[in-house]
Structure 1
Amino acid sequence: MRVAADDPLAADVRALLEEHLADMRRISPPESVHALDPAALAAPGVLFLAAREDGGTLLGCGALKRLSDEEGELKSMRTTIAARGRGVASAVLAAVLDAARAQGLGRISLETGTEPFFEPAVRLYLRHGFVPRGPFADYTDDPHSRYLTLVL
């Protein structure tokens, strides 16, 4: 498996991101869906990473959105159904954290949901040292959102 910068507009990535957005819209009320679409992930200030097998098969993705000179936000973490349980999410998260450090960021934060669907992701983040925090950036108190942060 290799994790590297990738194109969020590539056909296989778009399909994975559309699956991600569909799940977010199915689980959370519209005002609580904060996932970025492929075009937003291709914008300046966002580093999009994908995990791929040596043959090029997409396994998962994640992104780092720069919020300031000191803080970044983890966005669009997703693993393909076929690749779940293979360490893809941990590998993508590690690559995002390495990229944040390389950019000189001192903190990375994220927003995720409070529904049971999000529990595996929350366990992953807590295992990697993230801790709860309040809303950040443009987020507000929302019963459907949970906020975590990691000092790098």
Structure 2
Amino acid sequence: MLDIRQDDPAAPHVAALLAHHLAELRSVMADFAFALDATGLSAPNVIFWTAWRGRELAGFAALKQLDQTHGEVKSMRAAPAARGAGVGRALLDHVIGKARARGYARLSLETGTAELHQPAVRLYRRAGFTPCGPFADYQESPHNQFLTLAL
């Protein structure tokens, strides 16, 4: 069973997985990796959750409020040992549910175009996300793509 709980992105138990996440993204996206570090994930307009299987950190995700009706999925990641076990889907469903509960009309995300992003893109599309243009402060590039979900 997966336990998803609100957490502190600067907590020691998050550090290694967050560092892995940022390093992997920067290795394929360079200057176009917009994932937030612990400081960014601790901002007042961001809610951060961790997913646990027993005592093992299985992943994390965050929801950033862009405005009163628009949220953004941020820094969603399953731990390498938990990939393919439904952690990503559970986290995404959790974020979507929280976005709906907050009254958002739309939930968007920015992700990469590299091969490593393809499993996540398939997950987002299965959840109903569709391609859209850049939102918030993002700029279009060959390294990123944008998806949105009407809630």
Fold match by TM threshold 0.5: yes
2:76 is the counterpart of 1:83: no
**1 CA distance for matches of 2:102 and 2:139?**
27
**2 CA distance for matches of 1:71 and 1:10?**
27
Residue type at the aligned position of 2:26:
R
Residue type at the aligned position of 1:4:
R
How many pairs were matched up? Answer: 150
**1 CA distance for matches of 2:115 and 2:58?**
23
**2 CA distance for matches of 1:77 and 1:17?**
10
What do you get for the CA RMSD once the two structures are aligned? 0.8
TM-score if structure 2 supplies the norm length? 0.97
The equivalent residue for 1:17 is 18
The equivalent residue for 1:39 is 39
Q: CA deviation at 1:92?
A: 0.4
TM-score if structure 1 supplies the norm length? 0.96
**1 CA distance for matches of 2:7 and 2:140?**
33
Q: Which runs of 5+ in 1 are unaligned?
A: none
The equivalent residue for 1:4 is 5
- Secondary structure of the residue that 1:67 maps to in structure 2? strand
Q: CA deviation at 1:98?
A: 0.7
Give runs of aligned pairs for residues 1-152 of structure 1, distance below 5 A: 1-30=2-31, 32-53=32-53, 55-152=54-151
**1 CA distance for matches of 2:110 and 2:80?**
22
Q: CA deviation at 1:29?
A: 2.2
Deviation per CA, 1:26-54: give whole Å up to 9, x if none: 11122x0100001110110101011112x
**2 CA distance for matches of 1:14 and 1:104?**
31
Aligned-residue identity in percent: 51
**2 CA distance for matches of 1:4 and 1:13?**
13
Q: CA deviation at 1:128?
A: 0.3
